[in-house]
Amino acid sequence: MMRLLRIELQKVRPSRSFKVLASMYLVALFVICVVVMPFLQYLKSRFEDFDMDGIDPTIIPFYEFPDIWQNITWVAIHLKLLLGFSLIFSVTNEFSYRTIRQNVIDGLSQKEFIISKIVMAGFLSLASAAFLFVLGMITGLIYTSDISLGLMFEDSYFILIFALQLFTFLVFTLFVGVLIKKSIIAMGVLIFWTMVVENIAWGRMTYLGYDWIGYVLPVKSINQLVHVPFPKYVFQEVQDYITFPELGAVLAFLALFYWATIRLVVKRDL
């Protein structure tokens, strides 16, 4: 597995598009952990300008332990398209430039070739989760007034859930890239499916009362594993835990796209 990861890292090292997209993703994760408090302070100043001194948005514990873990992971998972695009470029370029044939000639089997991409997806997911954990820990230490070891790590399992969400989505993007083989078309299909098809299907079906639709749409299933946490700041009830049916749906999609991606490459004539 480490051999396959080293091969993939060597491939992406000279790739400018991969570096740009990955850098944009890391910057976006960093912004999540620095932008909210200045925005809340801006809102407070605006309220004061309108003689509304009693309203203080800065008391919202967005960056405080343990709230920070669900807050930042819910926001961060919506940035996943950036990493998805980087993997689409990686796998579609192999088909466009016929380097997959050279990989097979050099000794990699077709199965090892695609597993190396999946291993890369796992590496990116774990690296992103680790980066987000460090940012969350630093930000939480800055903004939490009463800190204890138990409070710091309470609900930190959301970081592991984030890694699973991201890995599942990246395997899905690999499936799309392998299926279509053209980077621009594959990215267009991914955007259209994620932002249009699933949203229309989910909105229509939930309107009709079919709430189970969230379990059969892959991206919605991934997104809903961590529920939106912010309504609790206006005294609404939110789900601040992971349910087994939602976790099972994501694991099922992960297994499905893992199998389908490998099968597509192994059965395809190079």
Q: Residue holding tokens 């909210």?
A: 36
Q: Is the pLDDT of residue 252 over 70?
A: yes
Q: Which helix (H) or strand (E) holds 188?
A: helix 183-192
Instruction: Tell me the residue range of the domain where 224 lies.
Output: 2-267
What pLDDT, on a 0 to 100 scale, did the predictor assign at position 56? 60
Half-sphere exposure in the Cβ direction for 78 (13 Å, CA):
10
User: How far from the centroid of its chain's Cα atoms is residue 154's Cα?
Assistant: 21
The pLDDT tens digits for 34-61 are 888 887 777 667 666 555 555 666 778 8
Percent of the chain predicted with pLDDT > 90: 65
The pLDDT tens digits for 130-177 are 999 999 999 999 999 888 888 999 999 999 999 999 999 999 999 999
Considering Cα of 244, then 245, then 249, then 252, what sign does the dihedral take? positive
Q: Is the pLDDT of residue 222 over 70?
A: yes
The pLDDT tens digits for 177-192 are 999 999 999 999 999 9
Mean pLDDT to the nearest integer, 113-139? 96
Q: For residues 264 and 231, give the distance between their C-alpha atoms in angstroms, rounded to a whole number.
A: 42
State in Å, rounded, how far the first CA of the chain is from the last one.
Answer: 23
What pLDDT, on a 0 to 100 scale, did the predictor assign at position 54? 56
Domain count, the chain: 1
The pLDDT tens digits for 224-245 are 999 999 898 888 899 999 999 9
3-state DSSP call for residue 72? Answer: helix
The pLDDT tens digits for 69-78 are 999 999 999 9
**Closest by alpha carbon to 159, among 181, 184, 140?**
140
> Would the pTM of this model clear 0.85, i.e. be above it?
yes
**Who contacts 32 (Cβ-Cβ below 8 Å, separation ≥6)?**
72, 75, 76, 135
Instruction: Please give the structure tokens belonging to residue 17.
Output: 């598009």
